[in-house]
Amino acid sequence: MKLFFIESDGEFIMTTLGYIAVALLAAIVFAAIFLLKPKKEKEELKISTTKKLAFCSMAIAVGFVASYLKIFRLPLGGSVTLLSMLFITLVGYWYGLRAGLLAAFTYSLLQFLQGPYIINFWQVCFDYLFAFTALGLSGLFKDRKNGLITGYIVAILARGLFHSIGGYLFFMSWIPDTFPKNLSSIYPLVYNYSYILAEGAITVALLFIPPVRKAMERVKTMAIKE
């Protein structure tokens, strides 16, 4: 780990090799999103581009509006919203990984424009581009049993991981004095997953309600059926 991060005055600083590694990872991820063609599955071929675009746009728009409807917010950023992450993960659940990542990347740009906090380029990447694009990972579970719930959980955990990495790199000096000193090394994880898992628990609880689950399945049928 010292090859990629060094500790200085209680903060983790990325080394030159670390920046190169992240840059290469980002290049690979975004190349996969934008350049690689998805496998031509029969059900995908039956979905018109116009219909897919309409449903993706609708999910992004509703998710963005929902992100403004905050149940509560934390003082240093982050909030529990009215299921905003669910609407973004739905695109992956409907259309698979590539469409999910594209929609989530678009959403990440909207989140950045919503009210950006900027320290440097890499902080923007971890707090916005990487974190919110990770919601598209729900597409990995498109055709799996309980794929919506599983994909949602994996996606929000991935989002929290990127926020936490950004916390270690750029916000360790923001730890409140009231937080136990012996637990300071896990503060970014505790802080970021507190609001992400709170919203996640509410969402998953709703998805386990049979009428809600049936409604989600009906919406998916509408999204993928020509």
Q: Is residue 147 part of a domain?
A: yes
Does 87 reside within a domain?
yes
Burial (Cβ within 10 Å: 0-12, 13-18, ≥19) of residue 200: buried
Amino acid found at 15: T
Return d(Cα 97, Cα 113) in angstroms, integer: 24
Residue 219: Cβ-neighbour burial (10 angstroms; 0-12, 13-18, 19+): middle
Q: Is residue 126 part of a domain?
A: yes
Assign residue 84 the CATH number of its domain: 1.10.1760.20
pTM metric for this prediction: 0.82
pLDDT (tens, 9 = 90+) of the chain, 226 residues, equals 456 666 665 555 666 776 676 666 666 655 655 555 555 544 444 567 888 999 999 999 999 999 999 999 998 889 999 999 999 999 999 999 999 999 999 999 999 988 778 888 889 999 999 999 999 999 999 988 899 999 999 999 999 999 999 999 999 988 998 899 889 899 999 999 999 999 999 999 999 999 999 999 999 999 988 7
Number of folded domains that form the chain: 1
